[in-house]
Amino acid sequence: MRSASGFWGRALSLRNYGAALVLLPLLAACHREGPTPAAHPYYELGSAWRGTHGWFYPNEQFDYHVTGLATRQQAPVGGLTADGETWSASGMTGAHQTLQLPAIVSIRNLLNGRIVRIRLTDRGPADPGRIIALSPKAADLLGMTADTPVEVMEDETASRSLAEELGKPPAQNISAAPVGEVRETSLSDGSSRVYGNDSSAAASSVVVGPLPVTWMQGSPGPSGLYVLMGIFSGHATAASVAMRCGGTVLHASEGARLEWRVLGGPYVDIAQADAALDRTRLCGVEGARIIVE
């Protein structure tokens, strides 16, 4: 025979279980996703921010032209980018560590020659071994299946235009004294016209539209992977870094203010270049990066 205490214990358990089932819809009704934040694009430079192995210092630059490795961008937390735009995986956008936002750049895949044009809207990537992150759509059009050697060239005219328009302070409607209404009446036909302060006039905003989802075909190459350890004005300093970190001292490009570059490489693949970049931190070099030549 079953005990009465066991029967009532099971009854109470069933009652508690039923109460829990009743509460589930109520709890689900209480938990709702918040509304998507409104997008208001604006000019953004921002403060220094910390990556995985050091700090990045944003600065305004309109003649940016470098080579390095590109990676795929992840969705930003909250759905808004650093310059206030709504992020979309299907947009022609990307992230950069230091350039002013937004900025317009062209990316050339050095392996297949494909070129895409994107708008930089967010900060990243955090990995100093990668110079840019592309939205999934832009990466697909570029033919990226993994981190890829690229050339990045900024469109100076388009980037300056965005900076000038979005960087303007908001217009303010200020009057010297409050005026309720001024009425002008014609003496000839008796018609009248009313003047006054238009307090409802809103400041015009810059519309930042999506870029075309397309790509062009260019020439591939170069393909050599190196680590640029620094550019120096004195040969002695460059030679000291090269000896300490196992690099080679080379002349910088003609006409450059700093005359000596220290390079490590070439490396056979990205994994080897990443490992070499990690070693530069151990020998006291900050700010080294992977380049393609």
Rounded to an integer, the average pLDDT of 219-236 is 95
> What is 224-293's CATH number?
3.30.70.1070
Query: How confident is the model at residue 256, as a pLDDT?
Result: 59
Rounded to an integer, the average pLDDT of 248-267 is 85
Query: How confident is the model at residue 209, as a pLDDT?
Result: 85
CB-based contact 87:93 (threshold 8 Å) = yes
> What is 38-167+211-220's CATH number?
2.40.40.10
Rounded to an integer, the average pLDDT of 276-289 is 94
Residues of the chain with CATH 2.40.40.10: 38-167+211-220
Query: How confident is the model at residue 204, as a pLDDT?
Result: 40
User: How far apart, in whole angstroms, are the C-alpha atoms of residue 286 and residue 200?
Assistant: 53
Tell me how far CA of residue 252 lies from CA of 64, 158, 212, 235, in angstroms. 17, 29, 37, 11
Residues of the chain with CATH 3.30.70.1070: 224-293
Closest Cα to residue 288, out of 246, 236, 233, 234? 246
User: Is the confidence at residue 191, as pLDDT, over 60?
Assistant: no
Query: How confident is the model at residue 238, as a pLDDT?
Result: 95
pTM of the predicted protein model: 0.76
